[in-house]
Structures are given as C-alpha cells and as structure tokens.
C-alpha cells in the first residue's frame, strides 16, 4: 500500500509541478530569480485561503423546512471570488443543503414560487408525490421539482431519508417544466459523451440531469466516481465556471489551489471562477469514492 501511495503521489507531484510551471511562466521557463539554487522571498502558499471555498453540513445548525424536513447548510450565499466567510460562495443558487426526513414522517404540501429544487437522495427509502405522480425514492435517485407544482414527501422506512438539496434561482426568460422529473442513477449508464469521454484521466461519470431536463441555473448535475489509487487530472476552468464537488461515499483528498484537504462525505467545495485556482480529487484508499458534481455558468441563449 505504501509503495502504491508513493507512486501515486509522485505521479501527482510531477503532473502538478509541470502544470504550474506551464501556466505561470512563459513557455514553461522559470524566471532567473526562481532557478534552482536561488532562494527569493517565499510567497504565500495559499493566497486565496482555500478553506473559505469549502463547506460541510456537519458544521451547520439544523433548520426546519417544507413542514417536515430538517436542513443543514453545506454552502451558502456569498461571493464566488472572495467568500466573506467559510462556504459562502453561492451566487446563482439560493441554497445548497443536506436534508433529512425522519422515519414515518411526511412533509407538508409545498408549492415553490420563483425557485425550483433538485433532490439527490443518499439513504433511506420513501416516496415523493406531485401532480398525480408518485415516485419511489432511495439512494442515487434524483428529483427535479419545478415551480408552481405542489408536492410532498413521505419516509416509508425505518431510517432517516437523507438527501442533498439544491435550490435554484430562475434566470430571466427561463421556462420551467410543468411536472417533476425523476432519474434513477442506478439504471443510468456510464457517460460516453464527448465532454466526459476522457474523464479528466480517471473520472467515472453518470449524468443525472441536464438543461434539457429542466435545470435552471445549473448546467449539468453528475455523479463522478474514482477507483482506488486514482487521480483526476489537475486543471483550471474558463472564467465564470462555478463548479461544486461534494463527497457522497468514501474519504478522498481534495487538491485545490496550492492546498490539499481530506474530504469526507458531507464536505463540498466550489472552485474560484477564474483560471488561477486549479483543482483535482485523489483516491488514495482501497475503496471507490463518489462525488456529486454540478456547475453554474453563463447560460446560453434560448
């Protein structure tokens, strides 16, 4: 295990160092003051304070919503470039939370106005009712609930029904769906479309929802898995790309900017939306790890 870890970390270090040199110096050549053997003043290794881009529901207070759910914040409203506090990065979403419904409990009939919600279920079992439809919900099922459609939820099981819950703002001119959309990721094939074909080296991707399914602020909602002893390609993003990674199963290593952090289930980070903050995820363990991924960016013309 130790030798495999060393090999993985060495490969990661080599790829990362080459990426940094190529991105920060013309032609990948170090300036004279940074040649080997020279010792200029050390720069701040964490100029963007990456911990402010992270959030974890375990650190949040519970709050009742929907007449039965208990929500805990993962990421909150703030500034995507310069978060005023830890996890305060959301600009295009109203909220991003972890929610639970107690065994045997139900939510009150709810109708969203000027917003819509996406539920991604993590554990437990139950059902969601809306507009004469009833859908069974359990781990890895996604539900998109548009505005103006009444719905309620019931926990049929003996354990809490848990979920990640995204509340979307509705862009000007957005035309929502007229009924809920349900997607069972368990029955969804691994994606082979162009944008994930190479999977940033090791990503195993499944599409849960896309804009054609009725997403508003979010462009795509995916799950991404990493097999043991693999790493995603370290990379940056085009300006405006606000990308969120949340751990579902297993503890991994998040590489963000110049820092690495252990990332257990319930923790999420959003990448600073410029070309500076590179990132990747590393699975140095013996079991597959899994993430919920989504990104908001400039919406194309309708």
Contact 191, 199 (CB under 8 A): no
- pTM for the full predicted model: 0.85
* In the chain, where the domains are located: 1-30, 44-296
Domain 44-296: top CATH class: mainly beta
Indicate the pLDDT class of residue 20, thresholds 50, 70 and 90. very low
Residue 301 pLDDT > 90, yes or no?
no
**Each residue's pLDDT tens digit, 211-228:** 999 999 999 999 999 999
Mean pLDDT of the chain: 86
4-to-18, 202, 229, 262, 288 alpha-carbon distances in Å: 21, 16, 7, 18, 16
**Each residue's pLDDT tens digit, 40-85:** 666 777 877 999 999 999 999 999 999 999 999 999 999 999 999 9
Of the listed ranges 111-120, 192-201, 252-261, the least confidently predicted one is 192-201
The better pLDDT of the pair 274, 101 is held by: 101
Q: Which tokens sit at 200?
A: 């940033």
220-to-114, 139, 205, 226, 299 alpha-carbon distances in Å: 20, 19, 12, 19, 12
The DSSP output letter for 32 is G
Phi and psi at residue 34, in whole multiples of 5°? -115, 15
Query: What is the residue whose two structure tokens read 């990426």?
Result: 19
């Amino acid at each position: 295990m130790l030798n495999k870890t060393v090999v993985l970390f060495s490969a990661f270090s080599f790829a990362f160092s080459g990426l940094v040199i190529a991105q920060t110096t013309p032609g990948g050549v170090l300036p004279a003051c940074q040649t080997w053997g020279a010792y200029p003043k050390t720069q701040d290794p964490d100029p963007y304070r990456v911990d402010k881009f992270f959030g974890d529901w375990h650190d949040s207070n519970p709050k009742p919503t929907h007449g039965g759910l208990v929500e805990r914040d993962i990421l909150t409203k703030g500034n995507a470039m310069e978060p005023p506090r830890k996890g305060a990065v959301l600009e295009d979403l109203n909220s991003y939370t972890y929610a639970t419904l107690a065994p045997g409990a139900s939510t009150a009939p709810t109708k969203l106005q000027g917003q819509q919600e996406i539920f991604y279920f993590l554990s437990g079992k139950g059902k969601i009712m809306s507009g004469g439809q009833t859908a069974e919900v359990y781990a890895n099922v996604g539900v998109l609930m548009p505005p103006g459609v009444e719905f309620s939820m019931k926990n049929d099981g003996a354990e809490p029904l848990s979920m990640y819950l995204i509340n979307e703002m509705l862009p000007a001119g957005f035309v929502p769906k007229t009924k809920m959309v349900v997607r069972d990721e368990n029955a969804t094939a691994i994606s082979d479309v162009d944008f994930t074909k190479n999977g940033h080296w090791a990503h195993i991707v499944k599409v849960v929802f896309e804009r054609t399914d009725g997403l508003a602020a979010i462009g795509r909602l995916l799950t991404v898995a990493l097999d043991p002893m693999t790493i995603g390609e370290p990379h940056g993003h085009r300006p405006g790309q606000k990308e969120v990674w949340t751990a579902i199963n297993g503890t991994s290593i998040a590489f963000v900017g110049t820092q690495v952090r252990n990332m257990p289930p319930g923790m999420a980070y959003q990448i600073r939306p410029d070309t500076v903050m590179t990132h990747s995820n590393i699975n140095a363990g013996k079991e597959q790890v899994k993430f919920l991924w989504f990104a908001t960016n400039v919406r194309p013309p309708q």
